[in-house]
Amino acid sequence: MIELIPSQLIPTSKLFLNSGQLEGVPKNPRFIKDERYTKLLRSIQDDPEMLGARELLVYAYKDKFVVLGGNMRLRACKESGIKEIPCKVLPVMSPDKLRSIVIKDNVAFGSDDFDMLANDWDIVELIEWGMEIPSLGSLEDIEEEQDNTKSEKSTCPTCGQGIDKDTPF
């Protein structure tokens, strides 16, 4: 039977990144920087209600909590000035179980259907929301290409006059 863990609002001052404080549980192996971190910050600022749907996974340690799932979100929340974050406080577990949670919480088991994304979703929005789409380049490259495509002119093979690229011959 699945046991539900209730959510709790915990002050950010009581939440700590997993730096290996828990015996048998190595420090968080993930990192984020530069553009990806900026996108995470913006995501949390734009949609803070998502924190209530995707709580941090924490484990009680002394009189505070170690974050096992959501270390990057904790950093972004603190930087954004958020004072309390919804968390799931994990029950007492073995270090082996806690280690598996650290990794499993960050594994993407599924794959993205890039054809569907390209056809049914706005590519600029996807990139702004932090999705990494292989071989498309940066958002600036895509926007520049879209601008160039809109303004490209072709030459009529018959008269040599400039025409819009979408004009049929």
Q: Give the pLDDT confidence of 116-125 residue by residue, as tens digits.
A: 998 999 989 9
Domain coverage including residue 135: 114-164
Q: Is the pLDDT of residue 108 over 60?
A: yes
2 domain-assigned: no
91 and 151 together in one domain: no
Rounded to two decimals, the pTM is 0.74
Going by their DSSP bridges, the two strands 64-69 and 15-17 should be labelled as: parallel
pLDDT band at 109 (very low <50, low <70, confident <90, very high): confident
Q: Considering its fold, how many domains does the chain have in total? A: 2
Q: pLDDT per residue over 4-19, tens digit each?
A: 999 999 999 999 999 9
Q: Which residues of 135-144 are buried (b: 16+ CB within 10 A; e: fewer)?
A: eeeeeeeeee
The proportion of the chain whose per-residue pLDDT surpasses 90, expressed as a percent, equals: 57
pLDDT band at 169 (very low <50, low <70, confident <90, very high): very low
Phi, psi of 113 (to 5 degrees): -90, 95
98 and 120 together in one domain: no
Per-position DSSP letters for the chain, written without gaps between them: -PPP--EEEEEGGGEEE-SS-STT-PPP-----HHHHHHHHHHHHH-TTHHHHSPEEEEEETTEEEEEE-HHHHHHHHHTT--EEEEEEPPS--HHHHHHHHHHTT---S---HHHHHHHS-HHHHHHTT---TTS--HHHHHHHHHHHHH-EEE-TTT--EEETTS--
144 and 80 together in one domain: no
Rounded-to-integer distance, Cα 124 and Cα 142, Å: 8
